[in-house]
Structure 1
Amino acid sequence: MSNEVESAQVSDAMEVAQLSSLAAVDSHAGSCEAEMPSRLLNDAVRSLPYHVVKDLLSIGVCSRCVLRILGTEDHIYCHSSFSQSMLCSVLEEVTGFKSECDFQFCSVCLGVLQLIYRDDKETLVKMESPNDMALVIAELVKKEGHQIDGFSLEVSIPQFILENESSLLSGMKKRYESEPWLQERLLSKCVSVKDVLKFAITKPLETLLDTKASASSFRIRLAYTHKMAFGNSVERNQGFKRRKIGTENGLQNVNDESVVANKDCSDYPTNETIAVTGRSSLKVPIDKVSEPCHLVYLCYRTHIYLCGRYLKYSRNVSQTRWIIDEERMGEASVEEIIGSNILPMCRGDNYKFHAAGREDIDVRMLGSGRPFLLEIQNARQVPSEETVKEIESKINGLENKLVGVKNLQVVGSQGWTLMREGEAEKQKQYCALVWISRPLEDEDVCSISLLNDMQILQKTPIRVLHRRSPLERKKIIYWMKIERIAESSQYFLLHLCTQAGTYIKEFVHGDFGRTQPSIGSILGCRAEILQLDVTDVKMDSE
């Protein structure tokens, strides 16, 4: 669990670094408005090899992909105010070339950077600029009622897009290998489709949501899929191992030399190879695209955790919801009482209840209480300290008084890890009402109190053999003390502290000799346990 959390944090930090590494575009934001965006684009486009731009446009590569593949300085094409039509117009004006082919969707990014996609109703959606997409996302966040102080933007695209790009770069390297611009631009400055889209919509999103992109627990995810991806991916990867894509300056470089080097385009089988005829003859094995990607917007928060200790005052309440043959066992459960009161305050989708061990339904949990952790899924609101106190007071003030909580607080996922790590090492204290078949003597009281750190051997109890493996377990009884009950010679209270996992009921009556020694065998008589309370659970971390 801790490794997963650490990996997620590292991933978030890398995403923030990726966005920061493109921050040069921000320096142009003000000048774009004051000095005209076309001027900046014109300067960038004039530095490109015109014949290559023409070749790429001719095979259906969209304007943004042309500019990013050729490593346009300062990544100006990422700016959120630039529409696809504006980029296309500047390219055609500067190069003097207009593609005669009618490519509706980019043959490399499949429409992702053209901001064209099909939604969940299969409607074709076309957006003018990244600002439009940011507006759709912001409205979704507000519609779902999320309260946020930051966000992490994630984009997932079909592997098919990376394969298309790898094929294109391989073909370009083969065709233009003798030209000096190749090493300078193609193999060092190409930014991935995901990074271009993320940066283009991050700034307007920050403005619309009035918060900054960061390593946040609130995630905005753009999930792109394509029906061509699976079939073609299988064909194209036959005989080839997938290689890890390298990074440079925090940006994913999909054209890393390890991906495109020494890869003959003819190795890839295709349905319809697009090629530029004439002097340039740039042949690349990518399919003409007839459909854009399918896009799903997802807004969610990673799990939040509330921990504390619960007390159970009833002998007819289970720890978790207990149903047998569609019939509820007990009148309620700790899980439901706590979860049903916390979930609405967090406005989450669901919850999961975790505890450091469990007690039987007829056993009360008293004293300091048992540690628990409540995992809230997709919480739209993280409760403040004041709200948490209100929740605690509400649970403790319920009329039925079945369950109580203490020390309730919001914690990170490390709370779950610490609770599980401490579970195996914890000590538990009990108070048991015991009956024996003969009168209790003073010698019995003394002999029991002298037994410290006593090791016992317990076979799996008969009452749980139907659901537990038949094992022998060594457990430790750290100390015991007998408290007499006035006017009763055969009833007494047994206070004891044991190692976690000790079966207390069986330690008292012996379970037909399956627990050795037991209170019955120590006192040399029959012993029965009538009631049991847990009075303390000591964690190793405390």
Structure 2
Amino acid sequence: MIINYSIRDLISFTGVIPKLSELWASLTDQLCLWCICRHLGITNISFYKQSCQDAVAELRSSYSELKHVEHKSCDKEVCGGCYGVLTTHFTDNDFLTKIVEEVERRKIEYEHFCCSIALPSTSVVRDYTYLLLCADICPGVYSYLPLENIPTVKDIWKWMCGARLERRFGKKFALTHMDILLNFQHAELDRESNKLEESFRDHFKKRKGQSTDKFTHSSIVRALTSVSREKLRTLLTYPPHRLREMCRLQSMVVTHNPVYVAGRYNKYSRELSQSPWFIDGERKGLDTSVSELLSQLLLEYTQAKSQNFTSSGREDIDVQMLGSGRPFTIQLLEPERVLSPDVLSDIERKINQMDPLLVRVSDLTLISREEADKLKDLEAEKRKTYTAVCVSDGDLSQGELDILCEHRDMVIDQLTPIRVLHRRALATRQRTVHWMKAKLQCNSSRIFDLEIETQGGTYIKEFVHSDFGRTVPNLCTLLSNRQIDIISLDVLSVHVEWPPAPDNS
């Protein structure tokens, strides 16, 4: 597969000289200059930053077969490839001024910005039909060329306007912070979806309860690539017909992309849930939660619309989270203000002053979406260390407890605990107990402290008291079938390298 190619690359690769003049004549009947050039495989970004006249002059000087081509205005006719998106109507300075004015009206703080172009999902069909047209004229070049090798309308618009918007905003064009969504619609393209559905019925069956558009880019590409190109010519409107009107800008939406804050938290209360907990409309525990305490100041400062809290596992409401704390991320949706390392440091200090008997937070830092996604990926690999206070129904000796040290990397089977059956499927899950040790408390022959390290996802309470035999083996069977119960449980450590170290440079 040729990833970045030009006509010269294709000639060298295929050994076939494309019929450039014939190809140009066929495409120029329906496409604007920029869409012709993207179907010719021109991927030089600077090429699309020049005027139509300069672009044609460069083509004439670069390719002998095109030295007699006439200048084609980008606005002469409705373009069947970009539907008008690449014409001066949506790329000139007046249009860019409208974008700048909308951003200024929103008063969003940002350090970088990006533009997203939303086209009707069926627009990819027309790109395929023009690829078929090119293959008919130059089969040696285009017959096996995948569509993804041709720059998209979205790519070209960003190449044409990105640098100019950078100068207008005085900010860098990058895939972070503020997003300017330009949503284009075209009635004729919407009607083409009916023919697409008729030709590929099995690919576009909307599932019961499905709320999203069944004509997604990926579903259309799967349908188009499921048959041969010869078959496509009979299923699609081919050759492509001329469009009668250009697209319209349905909406311009300026939003700040989600911001992700990572850190670790400690929980010191046995009445504080990790997230708001309600049963039959009644709140359990305290009138706040870990997620609310950690996100409150972040929401206030950034003026975000809402937040999503994610952590590496969760502790029960009556369990403390000690040691270095539990890794977490907070996703702030549509924030109006930008967070900086100094601001995060100040927010961290204020959170720790709010109620130090409930929670403490550490290592607050900004991370990317990709880094935030890694937290869930680490779930299967993590280990956790706990400390528990346990009680036996009969006297124990320290020698009996020392036997527990001999069990290392012990695999146990845990049937879904009774206490979580209302929210978890009934299944037997294998977990590993890596090591454990126990010590009798002073002046007691029945109460002992247990320290244990297990695979993430192990139900510790059930391992201790067996959950009516649903966890096997368990502490009861390991201690000569005594009845063991748990008085209290704390998490000492969640062994995950998280979050990334704050960048204070």
Q: Is the 8 A contact 1:459 1:470 kept in 2?
A: yes
Deviation (angstroms), 1:424: 1.5
TM-score, length-scaled by structure 1: 0.63
SS in 2 for 1:532: strand
Instruction: Give the structure 1 partner of residue 474 of structure 2.
Output: 518
Percent of aligned positions with the same letter in both sequences? Answer: 31
Residue matched to 1:44: none
Aligned partner letter, 2:490: D
Pair 1:156 & 2:111 matched: no
**Distance change (3 Å), C-alpha of 1:297 and 1:510:** same
Deviation at 1:173, TM superposition (A): 12
Using the TM superposition, give the Cα deviation of residue 154 of structure 1 relative to its aligned residue in structure 2, in angstroms. Answer: 3.0
Amino acid corresponding to residue 489 of structure 2 in structure 1 = L
Pick from 452, 461, 485 the counterpart of residue 505 of structure 1: 461
Secondary structure of the structure 1 residue equivalent to 2:173: coil
Find the counterpart in structure 2 of residue 123 from structure 1. Answer: none
What does residue 277 of structure 2 align with?
322
Aligned residue number for residue 357 of structure 2: 401
How many correspondences in the alignment?
Answer: 424
Identify which of 345, 349, 357 aligns with 2:313. 357
Please identify runs of 4+ aligned residues in structure 1 that moved more than 6 A: 61-71, 74-77, 159-174, 260-265
Structure 2 CA distance for aligned equivalents of residues 152 and 136 of structure 1: 15
Q: Report if the CA contact (8 A) 1:235-1:269 is conserved.
A: no
Partners of 2:312 and 2:327 within 8 A in 1: yes
- Map of 1:11-26 to 2, 5 A cutoff? none
The verdict on how the C-alpha distance between 1:377 and 1:483 changes in structure 2, with shifts beyond 3 A counting, is same
Report SS of the residue matched to 1:137. Answer: helix
- SS of residue matched to 2:187: coil
Query: Alpha carbons of 1:160 and 1:322: their partners in 2 closer, same or farther (altered >3 Å)?
Result: closer
Matched, 1:536 2:493: yes
* Aligned match of 2:431: 475
Alignment-derived partner of residue 78 in structure 2: 106
Is residue 232 of structure 1 aligned with residue 187 of structure 2?
Answer: no
- Per the TM alignment, residue 143 of structure 1 is displaced from its structure 2 partner at its CA by 2.8
**What are structure 1's unaligned runs of at least 5 residues?**
1-10, 19-47, 83-94, 96-102, 117-126, 178-189, 243-259, 271-283
Q: Which residue of 2 aligns with 1:145?
A: 107
Cα shift at 1:452: 3.7
Which has the larger Rg? 1
User: What is the rounded CA distance, in whole Å, between the counterparts of 1:263 and 1:451 in structure 2?
Assistant: 64
Structure-2-length-normalised TM-score = 0.67
Aligned to 2:183: 223
Q: How does 1:141-220 map to 2 (within 5 A)?
A: 141-158=103-120, 194=154, 197-220=157-180
What residue in structure 2 maps to residue 459 of structure 1? 415
Q: Is the 8 A contact 2:262 2:329 kept in 1?
A: yes
Deviation at 1:520, TM superposition (A): 2.7
Read off the aligned partner of 2:482 and give its amino acid letter.
C
> Displacement of 1:76 after TM fit?
8.5
Aligned-pair distance for 1:314? 1.0
Is it true that 1:333 corresponds to 2:293 in the alignment? no
Task: Name the residue aligned to 1:278.
Answer: none
CA deviation vs aligned residue, 1:483-534 (integer Å, no higher than 9, x gap): 4333444323222222222221122222222223333331543222121111
Deviations 1:94-140 (A, max 9, x none): x9xxxxxxx99836465545666xxxxxxxxxx8x721221221222
Q: SS of the counterpart of 2:402?
A: helix
**Aligned-partner SS, 2:112:** coil
Q: Cα RMSD over matched residues? A: 4.9
Q: Structure 1 residue 311: deviation in Å?
A: 0.9
Q: Deviations over 1:10-68 (max 9, x none)?
A: x9xx9xx99xxxxxxxxxxxxxxxxxxxxxxxxxxxxx9xxx9xx97xx9x99999999
Q: Describe the shift of the 1:315–1:113 C-alpha distance in structure 2 as closer, same or farther (beyond 3 A).
A: same
Deviations 1:61-87 (A, max 9, x none): 99999999999xx9789659x9xxxxx
Q: Write the mapping of 1:349-428 to structure 2, written as runs, cut at 5 A.
A: 349-399=305-355, 401-428=357-384
1:466 partner letter: H
> Is the 1:302–1:377 contact (alpha carbons within 8 Å) kept by the matching residues of 2?
yes
Distance 1:420 1:532 in 2: 24
> Does the CA contact (< 8 Å) of 1:426 and 1:540 recur in 2?
no
Q: What's the CA shift string for 1:461-501, capped at 9, x where partnerless? A: 22223333333333333333334333444323222222222
Deviation at 1:384, TM superposition (A): 1.7
Q: Which amino acid aligns with 1:106?
A: V
SS in 2 for 1:298: strand
The one-letter code matched in structure 1 to 2:414 is Q
Question: What are the ranges of 5 or more consecutive residues in structure 2 without an aligned counterpart?
Answer: 7-20, 55-69, 138-149, 204-228, 500-505
Going from structure 1 to structure 2, the CA distance change for 1:162 and 1:293 (only over 3 Å counts) comes to: farther
